[in-house]
Structure 1
Amino acid sequence: MGQDKGSRDEGSQGEVPEGKGYLLDNRQVEAGTRFDALSALFDASTFRHFETVGIDEGWRCWEVGAGGPTVAAWLADRVGPRGRVLATDIDVSWTGTAAEGVEVLRHDVARDEPPAGPFDLIHARLVLVHVPDRAAALRSMVRALRPGGWLLLEDADPALQPLICPDEYGPEQELANRLRRGFRHLLQQRGADLAYGRKLPRLLREAGLVDVAADAYFPIASPACDVLETATVHQVRDKLTAAGLATDEEIDRHLAHIAAGRLDLATSPMISAWGRRSSEGGAC
């Protein structure tokens, strides 16, 4: 799943009480590995959706919960020197050296006022599924759109396809799926909505956006899936064992299976939904 602040993965915003924050702490060294794997898995799909809404030179773009630098850099290249790209997150330490034309700002999308706009395009990937006040974050983004501007939200839906090994044909795959159930349990304890992705089209319509459409994408058996799962397990292994959801021996066995290339690992479906603020300004 997705980026957080002093506890954040690509796209996750909103402060919660100590011990209940986002599960995949960005202060851990594995966070950078996860960002790279998420980029390898999903950037091409994200960029395809940018093309769908017709991003052009001179556009003003807000990348919410930016995490790593790749998406903001692509936007900056597309909008050119006449455009503007603002990349925000609660923890901006993983954005690296911002590409030319990218402005980086520490910002909490659920609590802070929207940054100065309006924007032609606002994008958030793997953000809202983890935000405690998702409704406030969505309202903030819609308010920041110019009339005719586009909002593109992309969030995972682990409840729609919960298996990390869809082809569960043996004990190694069963173990992987059992550890994935433990991971989902930990996410739910911290307030993640594991069925949020499927709600996005409806939520965009309810927010007053028009021309709403959506699709879904999830890789199966990509090398980047192996990298992502390995980094994720390393990040949460102490929490899995502390909660009695797995033993160290089971986790070591699972990691060895990944390293040996014996698992066809998948991701949760990524639901991408996009809509346009009416030129009459009807969005709430």
Structure 2
Amino acid sequence: MMRIDGYLLDHRQSDAGQRFDALAALFDPTTFRHLERLGIGSGWRCWEVGAGGMSVVSWLAKRAGPTGRVVATDLDTSWAPPVVRPPIQLRVHDVGADEPPGEGFDLVHARLVLAHVPDRDRALRSMVRALRPGGRLLVEDADPTLQPLACPDEHGPEQQLANRVRHTMRDVLAEGGTDAAYGRRLPRLLREAGLRQVGADAYFPLTSPACGALESETVGQVREQLVASGLVTDQDIDRHLANVAAGGMDLITAPLISAWGRKA
């Protein structure tokens, strides 16, 4: 999916599984709704770019059925279950550097991937090239600059601290190469790539237990870099994580932009 060296949210970290679970709880319903609208069915050949926690891969496999094919790729597959059964094929792959893992796909999908890929333009071209004529592409990425706050209702010190941590996290990820404004450009990029019937929407929950879980796991994964920035201290992070665990804040995520199109 993404480069590991220098990528702060490394799949190999011990708590990556909890982060995958939180992302699935928050965003799988939206992703599945878009995939259903694109018409996925029995026999489809699918490429899932950035297999993540496998929830989307498993859903695609059920829809494609025994006559279909689901190629799931990622830079690191050490988190995958020990046995992966057809129609799923799991491969180590760098979408920003390697050739596509096949061609003639009916569907190519990536969620929360391309904004972190150094050569994201090449990655998008590769995904489009892998589609058959008439094949569908669905790309989903967050856009923290559209809504940069963790707590829009900043009515107390807990919410103020949460927003300070979120701002720092965005700066740290940007220094690591993440494009925090990538999501908003997706419709234009899909049109420029030659896709037709392009559409897009955005989703973000205003509050959810999974928002708190995602916040805790993400902050924990980048804690060292947050402190190194000099903008927050270890004590700030301890206090913020305690506030999150207490469950009294309405935490939200950055908007997830979903953009889709069809190859001519």
| Paired letter, 1:176 | A
Contact 1:257 1:263 in 2 (8 A): yes
Q: Alpha carbon RMSD of aligned pairs, Å? A: 1.1
Q: Shift of the alpha carbon at 1:117?
A: 2.1
Give the TM-score normalised by the residue count of structure 2: 0.97
Alpha-carbon offset, residue 233 of structure 1 = 1.4
1:226 lines up with 2:207 in the alignment:
no
Q: How many residues align?
A: 263
Could you state the TM-score of these two structures normalised by the residue count of structure 1? 0.90
Question: What CA deviation, in whole Å up to 9, does each residue of 1:52-76 have, x standing for no partner?
Answer: 1111111000000111111010001
Which of 142, 154, 157 is 1:156 aligned to?
A: 142
Q: Which one-letter code corresponds to 1:203 in the other structure? A: L
What is the distance in 2 between the residues matched to 1:99 and 1:31? Answer: 23
Given candidates 191, 198, 206, the residue that maps to 1:212 is: 198
Matches within 5 A, 1:1-284: 12-14=1-3, 21-96=6-81, 97-278=83-264
Letter in 2 for 1:53: L
Consecutive unaligned residues of structure 2, counting only runs of 5 or more, are none
| Partner AA of 1:90 in structure 2 | L
CA contact (8 A) 1:69 1:98 kept: no
Which residues of structure 1 form unaligned runs of 5+?
1-11, 279-284
Q: Secondary structure at the match of 2:243?
A: helix
Deviation at 1:238, TM superposition (A): 1.5
SS in 2 for 1:168: coil
Q: Is the 8 A contact 2:12 2:78 kept in 1?
A: no
What is the CA distance between 1:235 and its match in structure 2? 1.1
Would you say the 8 A contact 2:15–2:217 is kept in 1? Answer: yes
The answer to whether the 8 Å contact 1:165/1:265 transfers is: yes
Q: Is the 8 A contact 1:76 1:99 kept in 2?
A: no
Secondary structure of the residue that 1:93 maps to in structure 2?
coil
Shift in Å, 1:99: 5.0
Residues 212 and 276 in structure 1, CA contact (< 8 A), matched pair in contact too = yes
Sequence identity percentage: 65
- Rate the CA distance shift 1:52–1:92 in 2: closer, same or farther, 3 A: same
Asked whether the 8 Å contact 2:187–2:260 carries over to 1, the reply is yes
Contact 1:73 1:99 in 2 (8 A): no
| 1:207-242 Cα deviation digits (max 9, x unpaired) | 000000000001121000111111111111111112
Aligned to 1:5: none
Distance 1:219 1:71 in 2: 19
Q: Deviations over 1:147-174 (max 9, x none)?
A: 0000000000000000011111111100
